[in-house]
Structure 1
């Protein structure tokens, strides 16, 4: 097939690489315009653009597709059999969706109709799902509402983070897409309508998403820590400074912890620092405790709690984190 590929971030790259290795022709790669990055503020290529250039594939970077007749005419001249879309970052107009012979095919990182929307990977961890996956979908004008073409499933690890799940799912899309394209060519593709009544929405993440409320259960907070690792991260505050929490564990009781030192004045209320061991700091939640093993105080490097406690006596740590 002659294909146009639309994608932007790291998540899109493994699928693009699989297509490059395949029998299919990639006539054009479309990605977001170069954006300022880092302290220098210099425009940087998207990961997809870097991959395309490395393989001498033509790249287009329209600021907007909707209403962009010059770009839409470029697509018409290419006359692709299919347009592949994965984490592109723009909504496609109807005339583009309906242009290719086999339509626009989207790779979405959830088992649709569950977790439509912008952040299905992180919310799968935050919500404690046992299973998620990748859906190959025929795009329509709705938000992740098109017919399901293929589904790949994956069981989440007990210590799964947003980052580790991101990596696993990014490598699932390519092989599943190639199977889908083969079925299109053979005329054996099957379409399954989504049941909107079963749909859920994975809302966009912001830095505020990571602010910890210790009135939540320890289980919910521990999942939040994993789901928002590496971005935007879960955090609280200590002495007015942001304290990011990178690794934690749920502890039901502090009574029998070997080497536990209880903090003076602890009243067993949410957000209170209960005490410490050599390698962990313990904070009371709505129920149970959160043992913090890896953290990062504002202005400092990420470190394990053992290293952190070398610089802080228990009495130096405030009674409450907030």
Structure 2
């Protein structure tokens, strides 16, 4: 059985089909590709969540405020015992509503993302997903930062606000050096970079194809204690099924190994079954970590998938609040 391998010479877009999103692989075309991407995102997502971002978490807020005397009916769990002891009168600690959202994107740019057989590479889809997240969470004093795991190791982009910063972040993401085959300085290390030192409560968005061992699950679960989590899984059709093309050389970009196989019906069925089981294992890991899941594919309209996902969660939207977090009224 061959799982996690991708064709060494994949077929290009079929039937003259238009590209789903512009390629960022050519440095000479990078500016034009990012401009096109920004216009697409703004046109399709503008106003989608207006009026729904009332705060980061449900309730009165998370930031400590002033103490005031206790009144009957106040929540005793908010009792400020230190002030109560000093004044000999019951006091509760008020909280300040947290209106500013700090979003961190963890982008996996390891070698398996430099692949695509339809309209684009998975790497282009990572950039597009980051652009959509940036657009949906910008404004109102919100800040966006990123941790990139790719060919140059782990790179951190500090969280700042404003459109120029978002453009700088996307350019850094799109122009990040490609990983050498077999290099695996990736997702677990990037998640730990985000977790330590602890940051203020916010939204963590993890974008990857999640190919390889589930060694990132523990770090993702640890992030759930301070952040709302959104996992964006980017896939190509060849990640889930093999075409009937006879003998083909398969290449695993994560390990650098190659293997020649004949794509018999038995092999294709085994590959599809193992890939489906892998996707179920990944989804289970997301649920255990308390992360909402959004799947984007290179052969689908990625922005339509984002719109459907956002609209389905619009009542409780805090950027991407997981189902386990409940709705924000």
TM-score (norm 1): 0.32
Q: Which has the higher helix share?
A: 2
The structure that has the greater radius of gyration is 1
Report the TM-score, using the length of structure 2 for normalisation. 0.32
Bigger relative contact order, structure 1 or 2 (CA pairs below 8 A, ≥6 apart)? 2
